[in-house]
A and B are shown apart, each in its own frame.
Chain A
Amino acid sequence: MHVRRLGALIVTALVAAAVSGPAATRAADAPEIVIGSVLPLTGALAQTGAGLRTAQQLAADLVNGHVSYPLPMVGKTGLPHLGHARIRLVFADSQGKPDQARAAAEQLITQEHAVALIGTYASSTTATASQVAERAGIPFLNPDSSAPGLTARGLKWFFRTTPHDGTFAENFYQFLGDLKKSKNIAVKRVAVVGEDGLFGTGAGDAEEAGAKKYGYDVATRVSYPATTTEVNAEVQRVKTSSPDVIFQASYVPDALLFMRGYKQQGVNVKAIFAQDAGFVDPNFLKAIGADAEGVFTREVFSMDIKYRNQAVPLIDQLFRQRSDGAKPLDGNTARDFMGVLVLADAIDRAGSTKPDAIRDALMKTNIPGKLTLMPWSRIHFDATGQNDGGAGIIEQLQDGKYETVWPFDVAVRPVVWPMPAWKH
């Protein structure tokens, strides 16, 4: 008890030091380096956008501050190789729409003279904003969009730190492969279920491709409108295809409808693999209660990473203080936080604000995984601009909480397999 309180005190002291502003070591007239950030600040994705903005701003403030953490570029009072220049983030609103994202990127490049762009969360807006950067010859760092095609466009100026849907799907199949070895499980037929927007279609396509590659049968592919109010037909389709496991990409209301439907209709599978989203929403967990016990989800981040990088709880606390409603750090905000650090690191190493120099530095980026908030082996870009050290983790809902169960070397709990059957 005492130890825990002491720990809290230390955390609070560090936090206070971190936010108390930059030290006086920097020259008063140190130049500012503008990074343009395109985010959905209004519209349907506004809430997510507000969190991402907070995370990015926090990262910029820590780069400009003097308190150091085991994270790249943090606490050096700006960029040392550029005379401790501060980085300044300028935000522009994509409204979650491709045409607005394009206009926002143009504004940041032409009016704010941003030396690099970061953003934009939704894959469709990342597509258009990154084209503007490509045309202008400005580096674009994407920390948070998961459509695999984004790095298959042959763009010169596009870099993505997050793993994409293809990686996430492979992770599921690698996990199944590992289980076959360690537990001798039998899984042959997979059902692929998802909403019919970009999110569900992208995830489903990657899972179908993975099934072919890893030798599984796709029992059924169910694609449904995200705003549907009932899923009778969808659940029956899954049931009559008798799959061993279900891959599911859903938002909150449809995730609830499906889980209740599976229970009513006695759809007993060995596992349900969710694509986070609705299945990890606290309100989903509250509403569904014990019925979701045993569900797996892919994740990009977990607080368990604190066992590898002690900065995780500290950044979490700083983020909570700044975020509306004291929300904890999550996969989206952690990825965007890291994105700003990766850009700051590249600009510093470039020692210049020239686009070519920054691009060259980005291509030489090599940040070890233990210096990130993420479960990645490293941050290093391949020829397409994709981070080749990215990986997801798999969590399982055990006793009402998602716990990391894979990769086995970072797991905090053993896998429960199969999921408990429905009790009637």
Chain B
Amino acid sequence: MRWHLLALGAIVVLGAAAAFGLRDAVTLDLFFTLLLYAVLGQSWNWISGYAGNISFGHAIFFGCGAYASALCVTHGLSPWLAIPAGALVAALLALVTGFPTLALRGHYFSIATIAVAALVDAFVRTQPWLGRANGFELPIQSGWAALQFPDKGPYVLLALALFAIVQLATIALERSRLGYYLRALRANHAAAASVGIDERRWKLIAFAWSATMAAAAGVLYAQYTLFVDPPSTIALAISIDIALIGVVGGIGTLWGPAAGALVYVVLAKGVALRIGGTGKGYDLVIYGAIICLIAAWKPHGIVGTVVDALRRRRGAADIPPGATGTA
């Protein structure tokens, strides 16, 4: 616990120093993207890692925030309003869709999330007030009131703050009754139910918080990119990216999403820059191969593997591999 707080503190201090000290837009863009993906990965981790319901539709909650931002700004309202509004809509969407579907297990839930996301996507594409396929472009402004800045520093600070809040919330989750119940449900839902844990209730709470975090990230994304349309916010491809970040780092672990985001950003930017420029799809080949290797040989992700190794060194060999939720 203390180590986690120290690590988080170190990241915040270093990040803030970078945000104030660095002028290089490219490096700061990398930091921002990294933090944003880490938040999205952690948001996914709440429902899919800790609660164990693998979602392939998480981008719709990200989209709630992004579209809230676009609607507020284009209607002359403050983008700050988009944070509570987007979070509220996302949480309601999570409750409404989660109430029936969270009872589903395994593939049934995963495909249900694809179905729900496809319905949301189809809905947005037919609604003129949501910009249909054209989406929204946010007009250029500057300053804290407009939540838009000519420099990258403030964006990195905001992303850093969001990341810190989400990590603190996750530390709290791991030590809370909610976290304990979710772990119990994930390990054996029948046994958990027999001792009176209400699966639907606790998973709905986790789902709503998870959606809230993704929506906050969506607002930040919209204010940063100043462009919101279905393929860049709510499409299946975005949901898949979010899930990948969660899995590569190690699901159900505190630092897994951050590690996954790091790998994702390095791969997406590094691989694409080095060898992707030919348009031959080699980037996809390498990307796919790495995911295959991780899935087949390091299925607990990066953090899971490190934690298991640490455990073994401490001689705690009786803990089964993968049961890293208590990290």
- Do A and B come into direct contact in the complex, CB within 8 Å? yes
Query: Across the interface, do B137 and A110 meet the contact criterion of CB distance under 8 Å?
Result: no
Indicate if A210 sits at the interface (CB-CB under 8 A).
no
Query: Across the interface, do A128 and B225 meet the contact criterion of CB distance under 8 Å?
Result: yes
B9 to chain A, nearest CB (A): 28
Query: Across the interface, do B231 and A111 meet the contact criterion of CB distance under 8 Å?
Result: no
Residues on the A chain within 8 Å of B80, using CB? none
Query: Across the interface, do B229 and A46 meet the contact criterion of CB distance under 8 Å?
Result: no
Q: Closest A residue to B136 by CB, please name it.
A: A127
Indicate if A93 sits at the interface (CB-CB under 8 A).
yes
B271 to chain A, nearest CB (A): 9
Indicate if A47 sits at the interface (CB-CB under 8 A).
yes
Indicate if A170 sits at the interface (CB-CB under 8 A).
no
What is the interface of chain B mostly: helix, strand, loop, or mixed?
helix
Query: Across the interface, do B279 and A201 meet the contact criterion of CB distance under 8 Å?
Result: no
Out of B227, B231, B278, name the residue touching A50 (CB < 8 Å): B278
A195 to chain B, nearest CB (A): 9
The residue in A42, A47, A149, A324 that gathers the most chain B C-beta atoms within 10 A of its C-beta is A42
User: Do A149 and B26 form a contact, CB below 8 Å, given A42-B276, A50-B279, A99-B225?
Assistant: no
Indicate if A97 sits at the interface (CB-CB under 8 A).
yes
Out of B26, B122, B277, B278, name the residue touching A111 (CB < 8 Å): B26
Query: Across the interface, do B281 and A46 meet the contact criterion of CB distance under 8 Å?
Result: yes
Query: Across the interface, do B232 and A135 meet the contact criterion of CB distance under 8 Å?
Result: no
Contact with B along A119-151 (1 / 0, CB 8 A): 000001001100100110000000000010100
Query: Across the interface, do A93 and B134 meet the contact criterion of CB distance under 8 Å?
Result: no
Residues on the B chain within 8 Å of A131, using CB? 137, 140, 226-227
Interface residues on A, range: 35 or more
Indicate if B273 sits at the interface (CB-CB under 8 A).
yes
User: Do A124 and B140 form a contact, CB below 8 Å, given A106-B29, A147-B134, A201-B134?
Assistant: no
Q: When chains A and B are docked, how far (Å) is the Cα of A107 from the Cα of B24?
A: 9
Query: Across the interface, do A135 and B150 meet the contact criterion of CB distance under 8 Å?
Result: yes
Query: Across the interface, do B227 and A98 meet the contact criterion of CB distance under 8 Å?
Result: yes
Query: Across the interface, do B229 and A42 meet the contact criterion of CB distance under 8 Å?
Result: no
Query: Across the interface, do B232 and A99 meet the contact criterion of CB distance under 8 Å?
Result: yes
Indicate if B125 sits at the interface (CB-CB under 8 A).
yes
Q: When chains A and B are docked, how far (Å) is the Cα of A197 from the Cα of B229?
A: 10
B239 to chain A, nearest CB (A): 15
Contact with B along A93-108 (1 / 0, CB 8 A): 1010111001100110
User: Do A134 and B140 form a contact, CB below 8 Å, given A106-B29, A107-B26, A124-B229?
Assistant: yes
Query: Across the interface, do B229 and A93 meet the contact criterion of CB distance under 8 Å?
Result: no
Indicate if A385 sits at the interface (CB-CB under 8 A).
no
Indicate if B311 sits at the interface (CB-CB under 8 A).
no
Query: Across the interface, do B133 and A197 meet the contact criterion of CB distance under 8 Å?
Result: yes
Residues on the B chain within 8 Å of A198, using CB? 133-135, 229
Indicate if B12 sits at the interface (CB-CB under 8 A).
no
Q: When chains A and B are docked, how far (Å) is the Cα of A99 from the Cα of B231?
A: 11
A221 to chain B, nearest CB (A): 12
Indicate if B283 sits at the interface (CB-CB under 8 A).
yes
Query: Across the interface, do B134 and A202 meet the contact criterion of CB distance under 8 Å?
Result: yes
Indicate if B186 sits at the interface (CB-CB under 8 A).
no
B32 to chain A, nearest CB (A): 9
Residues on the B chain within 8 Å of A103, using CB? 26, 29, 33
User: Do A93 and B221 form a contact, CB below 8 Å, given A124-B231, A131-B226?
Assistant: no
User: Do A93 and B277 form a contact, CB below 8 Å, given A99-B221, A103-B26, A135-B140?
Assistant: yes
A169 to chain B, nearest CB (A): 15
B102 to chain A, nearest CB (A): 28
Out of B125, B134, B232, B273, name the residue touching A149 (CB < 8 Å): B134
Indicate if A41 sits at the interface (CB-CB under 8 A).
yes
User: Do A47 and B279 form a contact, CB below 8 Å, given A99-B225, A198-B229?
Assistant: yes
B249 to chain A, nearest CB (A): 21
User: Do A97 and B276 form a contact, CB below 8 Å, given A106-B25, A131-B226?
Assistant: no
Contact with A along B259-282 (1 / 0, CB 8 A): 000000000100011001111110
Indicate if A168 sits at the interface (CB-CB under 8 A).
no
Residues on the A chain within 8 Å of B224, using CB? 99
Indicate if A49 sits at the interface (CB-CB under 8 A).
yes
Query: Across the interface, do B276 and A41 meet the contact criterion of CB distance under 8 Å?
Result: yes
Indicate if B189 sits at the interface (CB-CB under 8 A).
no
Query: Across the interface, do B279 and A42 meet the contact criterion of CB distance under 8 Å?
Result: yes
Interface residues in A72-123 by Cβ distance below 8 A to B read: 91, 93, 95, 97-99, 102-103, 106-107, 109-111
The residue in B132, B221, B227, B231 that gathers the most chain A C-beta atoms within 10 A of its C-beta is B227
Query: Across the interface, do A102 and B281 meet the contact criterion of CB distance under 8 Å?
Result: no
Q: When chains A and B are docked, how far (Å) is the Cα of A124 from the Cα of B272?
A: 20
User: Do A41 and B232 form a contact, CB below 8 Å, given A99-B225, A201-B132, A201-B134?
Assistant: no
User: Do A127 and B277 form a contact, CB below 8 Å, given A95-B272, A134-B140?
Assistant: no
Q: Closest A residue to B30 by CB, please name it.
A: A103
Q: When chains A and B are docked, how far (Å) is the Cα of A147 from the Cα of B229?
A: 14
Residues on the A chain within 8 Å of B229, using CB? 98, 124, 198
Excluding A93-B272, A131-B140, A201-B133, 18 further A-B contacts by CB distance (< 8 Å) are A41-B276, A41-B279, A42-B277, A46-B276, A46-B278, A50-B278, A99-B221, A106-B26, A106-B29, A124-B227, A124-B229, A128-B227, A131-B137, A147-B134, A201-B132, A201-B134, A223-B126, A324-B279
21 A–B contacts, CB within 8 A, in A order? A41-B278, A46-B278, A47-B279, A98-B225, A98-B227, A98-B229, A99-B221, A99-B225, A102-B227, A103-B33, A106-B26, A109-B25, A124-B227, A127-B137, A131-B226, A147-B134, A149-B134, A149-B137, A153-B137, A198-B134, A201-B134
The 10 closest A-B pairs by CB, nearest first: A46-B279, A42-B276, A50-B279, A201-B133, A110-B25, A98-B227, A41-B277, A106-B25, A42-B272, A99-B225
Residues on A lying within 8 angstroms of B by beta carbon are 41-42, 46-47, 49-50, 91, 93, 95, 97-99, 102-103, 106-107, 109-111, 124, 127-128, 131, 134-135, 147, 149, 153, 196-198, 200-202, 223, 225, 324
